[in-house]
Chain A
Amino acid sequence: MTNARLARGLIPVLVGAAFIACWELFVAAYQIPRIVLPAPSAIAQALLQDFPSLMLSLWTTLRITLLAFALAVVTGVALAILFSQSRIVEMALYPYAVILQVTPVVAIAPLIVIWVGFERINLALLILAWIVAFFPILSNTTLGLRSADHNLIDLFRLYGASDWQILWKLKLPSALPHLLSGMKTSGGLALIGTVVAEYGAGSGTATGLAWRILEAGNRLQIARMFAALALLALLGVAIFFSLALLEHYVLRNWHESAVPKEY
């Protein structure tokens, strides 16, 4: 079993190392120009050289992503609870939540930036990332709140439970696996939303990783572009794994998806 686990961790690492090695050899052997495809070593060099400014940009992007994600979780869960308590509110608002979701964020970005103002660009980015991250939380939690066992609801009613007790002790725990799965999707989307919003906002006072990529691209500093890209990918992976870990930790005792099969 430990061997299997070791292999699961080791194989992707080995594949990655082999890929990077081939890349390095390929660039060296065919003498590919740096502005077309920089070697991994050159990218690492760029990363080290620009480490302070890249880290600052990483922090900017991360901060907006996390804020947007937290905001999405709070508003998504709150709205889902509201929907579950009132069918009328759900009928009235759900279509607009869908419209907000299906309209491409790139298309809304300029408008939001104008409304909020260039001097408060981070707020504009936050709103845009929130729009993207919000919907999976809302739809998953809404589904989860509805999927509470009907017999358990009957049982709660039999013992005179209030609507509040049914929500708190039954519907919310039932919705938890759905919410956590929505959070995994939403965490990645918050990052995508932030990056797309940075692109959409274009030049100006935005200083996130997307802006570094644009800036490096304009100056044909391709190695630097790759370095920022690598950081962005790492950030996405880190967000996903943190949320997967949270899901596993929360559900480890009771949900089929989190409990290991015993043979």
Chain B
Amino acid sequence: MMLGQLNSVERQFSGRVKALGPLDLEIREGEFLSLLGPSGCGKSTALKIIAGLLAPTRGAVLWQSSKPSVGFVFQDPTLMPWASVRENVRLPLDLAHMPRAEADARVTATLARVGLTGAFLDAYPRALSGGMRMRVSIARALVARPALLLMDEPFAALDEISRDALNEDLLRLWREDNLTVVFVTHSVIESTFLSTRIVALTPRPGRIAGEFTVPAPALRSGVWRMSAGFADSAREVSRLLRQGMDAAA
């Protein structure tokens, strides 16, 4: 079922540089959709437009019913350095004036789901590794139980080992919560591993270069990454991306 769609969305920045579009994109309920494109193609802009943080210059975002509740994960963990892990994750609940006891219970449970327990809860962000900070950031996005999770190259700055672990955890969370995820990335491998559907974008201004439905099992794990199907899919996604680059050139 469709959750919402972008209708010929365009975004122009001051100085009349066109960053994005026109872009027509459907977001389907429960899917893991990756927006894949070269840097500067406007994929982060598209994500902010979906979140409602930016208004499109032309076109519109239409939701099937009302706008779903949104969680957002940035490329940087974007934590408040003066607040402990617990306080950082509690932020969305605090802003919604949820009673403290209920909020704290929810925060502890959510942090446990991303693998953070015990002494980490009272640590300050600067004491944590990059991978752990990203886990806190994901917990903060999930704590308010969003229907739609938007992620802007969240693992781009992490080392490969942390990234692989976070990728698998993210898939688990996506399935457990029946989330719809829109994931922005410039990595063919990462998007092929994670997504059910990949939309490749052209260089600036970003338009759709091609779309690919990943023929992966619903329960995918590290095994999927080693399979022949994975390699074939990644090749096909690369080809789409290349096509977009050539079309723009």
Instruction: Please give the residue numbers on chain A whose beta carbons come within 8 Å of chain B beta carbons, in ascending order.
Output: 149, 151-152, 154-161, 165, 169-170, 173, 176, 253-256, 259
Contacts and interface: CB of A to CB of B under 8 A. Distances in A.
Contact of B74 (A151, A160, A176, A254): A151
Contacts of B100: none
Contact of A159 (B83, B91, B124, B126): B91
A196 B246 CA distance: 72
Most buried by B among A160, A169, A259: A169
A176 B95 contact: no
Q: Considering the complex of A and B, which 4 residue pairs feature the smallest CB-CB distances, nearest first?
A: A254-B81, A159-B95, A151-B78, A173-B82
A223 to B, nearest CB: 50
B82 A158 contact: no
Interface string B76-92: 10101111000000011
- Max chain B Cβ within 10 angstroms of own Cβ: one of A152, A159, A176: A159
B124 A165 contact: no
Interface string B59-89: 0000000000010101010101111000000
Nearest to A152: B78
Contacts of B91: 155, 159, 169
B144 to A, nearest CB: 7
The majority secondary structure among interface residues of chain A is: helix
Given A159-B144, A254-B82, A254-B124, A154 B48 contact: yes
Contact of A173 (B72, B78, B80, B96): B80
Given A156-B95, A158-B53, 17 more contacts: A151-B78, A152-B80, A154-B53, A157-B53, A158-B51, A158-B52, A158-B70, A159-B92, A159-B95, A165-B95, A169-B91, A170-B80, A173-B80, A253-B124, A254-B124, A254-B126, A256-B126
B187 to A, nearest CB: 21
B81 A160 contact: no
B82 A176 contact: yes
Given A154-B48, A155-B72, A253 B82 contact: yes
A260 to B, nearest CB: 12
A254 B124 CA distance: 7
Nearest to A259: B126
Contacts of A173: 80, 82-83
Contacts of B95: 156, 159-161, 165, 169
A259 B144 CA distance: 32
A169 to B, nearest CB: 8
B234 to A, nearest CB: 30
